[in-house]
Amino acid sequence: TSGPRPPVVYLHFAECTGCTEGVLRSTYPWIDELLLETISMDYHETIMAAAGHSVEEVLHQTVKKYEGKFICVVEGAIPTADNGIYGMIGGKTMLEIAKEVCPKSLAVLCIGSCSSFGGVQAAAPNPTGAKSVSEALGDALKVPVVNIPGCPPNPINFVGTVVNYLLFGKLPDLDAHKRPLFAYGKTVHDQCPRRSHFENGEFVTEWGSKEAQMGYCLYEMGCKGPETFNNCPLVKFNDGTSWPVEAGHPCIGCSEPNFWDAMSPFYET
């Protein structure tokens, strides 16, 4: 009784597949409901049963059939040095594939900090010239981009963006880094349950200490929550089980641009 499910093409470039692992653990909705009832995942190298030339043909046919109508999800940065030869799939560079597929979509959703901002591949000295999708394609991209950063991002932020489009027929409102405001509108610090310890000057200064056991603020151990925009304290990971600070680890700023360089050292002891 519902309309046709919107086609989705999910591209993997220079990445670790952690973002896919996160999405496959989506619980709201469950991943089977997302894949079988909500969207039509027509191309995704990790979960496709087929391989080789037949799937390359699927990609080609899907882009041709649904030009201007499919959502293109990109996981991973795009190597651009030496004409992109440091990342190749089926004899084509990732840069070529991105130039061929992304501009024909209705919008590009960059899942994870790699496709959003370059990620670990783009960390200094960045030998492969890895860039975000927006940087690598520049004006050739032509279609709207939504960045859903995090390493990995919470799947709920990805699913929320897709559902926003399905329900309202438009992409969500974005911040200056093209991140959806519904997920990245506030800092981790402003939503952190340890905030009262911060205000009271109650800090952890040594791993394994009494203060660490008491859940004091991790700012002096290097927590980047005050500079990081994300909703981790609110939605948590793994069906609301926990998130880095709740597990006793400082936020390392994984949803901010260039966090591998800009936020390090991650630990201050």
Buried residues in 124-148 as b, exposed as e (16+ CB within 10 A): eebebbbbbbbebbeeebeeebbbb
CB-nearer residue toward ligand SF4: 20 or 104: 20
Determine which residue in the list 226, 227, 249, 258 makes contact with ligand SF4, applying CB under 6 A.
226
Q: Name the one range near ligand F3S by CB under 6 A: 22-30, 38-46, 64-72, 243-251.
A: 243-251
Instruction: Specify whether the CB–CB gap between 86 and 5 falls below 8 A.
Output: no
Task: Say which entry of ligand SF4, ligand F3S, none residue 101 contacts (CB below 5 to 8 A, set by partner kind).
Answer: none
CB-nearer residue toward ligand SF4: 104 or 189: 189
| 3-state SS class at 173 | coil
Q: Given strand 107-111, what is the order of strands in its sheet?
A: 40-44, 7-12, 71-75, 107-111, 145-148
Q: 175 is written with which tokens?
A: 């911040």
Distance (Å, whole) CA 155 – CA 30 = 10
Q: Provide the minimum distance between the beta carbon of 179 and ligand F3S in the complex, in angstroms, as a whole number.
A: 12
Q: Does 189 bind ligand SF4 (CB under 6 A)?
A: yes
Distance (Å, whole) CA 76 – CA 240 = 26
Q: Provide the minimum distance between the beta carbon of 19 and ligand SF4 in the complex, in angstroms, as a whole number.
A: 4
Q: Provide the minimum distance between the beta carbon of 253 and ligand F3S in the complex, in angstroms, as a whole number.
A: 6
Tell me, residue by residue from 179 to 208, as one string, x for binding to ligand F3S by CB under 6 A and - for no binding.
---------x--------------------
Q: Provide the minimum distance between the beta carbon of 77 and ligand SF4 in the complex, in angstroms, as a whole number.
A: 8
- Annotated binding residue 72: no
CB-nearer residue toward ligand SF4: 40 or 45: 45
Look at strands 107-111 and 130-131 and give their pairing: unpaired
Determine which residue in the list 131, 178, 179, 194 makes contact with ligand SF4, applying CB under 6 A.
194
Whether the upstream peptide bond of residue 265 has omega within 30° of 0, thus cis, is yes
Q: Which amino acid is at 5?
A: R
Whether the upstream peptide bond of residue 180 has omega within 30° of 0, thus cis, is no
* Residues with Cβ within 8 Å of residue 222, at least 6 apart in sequence: 250, 252, 265, 266, 267, 268, 269
Q: Does 255 bind ligand F3S (CB under 6 A)?
A: yes
Look at strands 78-79 and 130-131 and give their pairing: antiparallel
Determine which residue in the list 70, 216, 243, 260 makes contact with ligand F3S, applying CB under 6 A.
243
Q: Name the one range near ligand F3S by CB under 6 A: 87-95, 116-124, 161-169, 241-249.
A: 241-249
Q: Does 218 bind ligand SF4 (CB under 6 A)?
A: yes
* Residues with Cβ within 8 Å of residue 174, at least 6 apart in sequence: 146, 147, 180, 181
- Annotated binding residue 217: yes
Annotated binding site for [4Fe-4S] cluster: 16, 19, 114, 151, 189, 192, 217, 223
- Name the residues that contact ligand F3S, by CB under 6 A: 150, 188, 228, 230, 232, 243-245, 251-252, 254-255
Annotated binding site for [3Fe-4S] cluster: 232, 251, 254
